[in-house]
Every structure is written in structure tokens, then in C-alpha cells.
Amino acid sequence: MKQYVVDAFAGRVFEGNPAAVIVAERWPEERLMFQIASENSLPETAFAVPEGDGWRLRWFAPGDEEVDLCGHATLAAACVIDRFIRPGGNSIRFETRSGTLTVERRGELYEMDFPAYTLKMLEVTDQIADALGVRPREVWRARDLLCVFDRAEDVIGMKPDMEKLKGLKGALMQVTAPGTGEFDCVSRTFGPKCAIPEDPVCGSGHCHIIPYWAARTGRTEFVARQASSRGGTLYCRLDGDRVKLAGKAVLYAQSELMVEDML
């Protein structure tokens, strides 16, 4: 079984968010997919199997969790299919637990079409401020919590308490602030509930972040920077109830998994 590791939302290796990608003719046993994801110990491992003229895509995080939506592993899977499995096409369609996701190749970028989350405003509580170490100006919730700050420095320098974050609502903690220079907004993503203290670049998190900034600014296009230690850049566009997320992808490794006798 061949596996690819791709750095997504990255212009070079060791940047962006790494994802493992396995493209198979049929589904491995479910327990094996969980075991491979745990063995990889990457933020996500994606499995793609042909379905009609497209693909069925599933994402697994370490810690025995199948994920409903993952941007960077979708981008990584599209890159692998485009380069190694079915080269020459400009569009790749994935059927997923979050519906149909389409990826278009636009030069060096892969642009994904994701659903936009509808945000509900919550109270800024002492519990949230204590967990983050900085009090946000606003708190919103959809799948994840989204905490908004006035200064990029608050997001970049944040050192949250991971154990306290586990006690908050939402699957992940997204934090964002206005950007500086070429970037319209900055963000970071924390996921201790998913065994990921910090997600280097979170595509699905921007399905929260971009609708928020679009509503606040009246704009629809943003260059977003994920301010993790690896860093990553996303080119984002709100299109009705969809978020277009584009980024580069770089192949880091190819390997052969010695699990054929377990299929």
C-alpha cells in the first residue's frame, strides 16, 4: 500500500500542514485505517477510493477519530491524485461526510469548495479567557469555538492551557485577529480534544474564520495566514454559503506501508 506525505498550504517542505494520503482501489478495514493514522501521528491521514468518476474521501486523526471535514488533507489528496493517479485533469470531486467537495487546479494553487459555517455569538467568559491566557473581544461558535482579538500579536504570542481548553465547547479552538502587511487576517488552531495541541494550518477552521471577517468587513476575498510555528498561507473567498480555500502543496515523501497481509 503506497502512502504519500504532502505539506499543504505550503510553498516549500517543512511549511504548512502535513497530511498522509493513501489512494486505494478498495477500502481497507476500518480498524486498520485508525491504526495507520495513529502510527503516522500526523494531524490527518486521508484515504481516497474511486467512486463513479470521482472519489470517496475519508479523514482520520490520531487518537481513534474519524473527522467530518478537513481542508489540508483534502488539498493533499487532490495534489496526489493530480500528480500521480489521474494527471491532466483540472477538477477533482470528492464525496465526504460533509457532502460533495470539489477541488480545482489553478496554476500552482489547488482551490477547494467547502461549506461555510453559520456562527452563533456566545458570551466572553472568564473560563475562555483563562484557558487562552488572553481575553478575546468576541466569541462565536459553530463546529468549533472562534475567538476574535484586536491585535495580531495576541494571536501570534498566545500560549493557551491545553487542559483547560478541553473543558470548553466546540471541537477545536480557532483564534483570529486582523492581519498585517500582505495578510488580511491571522489565525491559530488548537485541538487538544483531538490529540492535536496545535494544528499547523486548518482549512476547515477558515470555514469559520472567513464568514466572520466577511460579515465584519463587507469583503469577500482574503489572504489568510496561519501563524503556527510552521506557518501557512490560504487564499480565501466567500461565495454565498460556500468558502473557496486555495493553497499550494509540496510532496515531502513517498513510502510503502507493509500492511498488505492485514487488508
pLDDT, tens digit (0-9, with 9 covering 90-100), for 108-158: 999 999 999 999 999 999 999 999 999 999 999 999 999 999 999 999 999
Q: Model confidence at 248, in pLDDT bands (50, 70, 90)?
A: very high
* Contact (CB, 8 A) for 210 and 224: yes
State the alpha helices, DSSP H only, in 67-188: 71-80, 126-132, 152-156, 162-165
pLDDT for 145 equals: 98
pLDDT, tens digit (0-9, with 9 covering 90-100), for 159-202: 999 999 999 999 999 999 999 999 999 999 999 988 889 999 99
pLDDT for 261 equals: 63
Q: Is the pLDDT reported for residue 34 higher than 80?
A: yes
| Residues in the chain, total | 263
How much of the chain, in percent, has pLDDT values that exceed 90?
92
Q: Is the pLDDT reported for residue 69 higher than 90?
A: no
Q: Model confidence at 35, in pLDDT bands (50, 70, 90)?
A: very high
- Just list the catalytic residues: 44
pTM of the model: 0.88
Q: Is the pLDDT reported for residue 63 higher than 90?
A: no
Other beta carbons less than 10 A from residue 49's beta carbon: 16
Mean pLDDT of the chain, nearest integer = 95
Q: Is the pLDDT reported for residue 262 higher than 90?
A: no
pLDDT for 260 equals: 74
Helix (H) or strand (E) holding 5: strand 2-8
CB-count exposure of residue 54 (10 Å: 0-12, 13-18, 19+): middle
Question: Which amino acid, 55?
Answer: W
Helix (H) or strand (E) holding 214: helix 206-217
Which of 14-28, 39-53, 59-73, 227-241 bottoms out in mean pLDDT, i.e. has the lowest? 59-73
pLDDT for 196 equals: 85
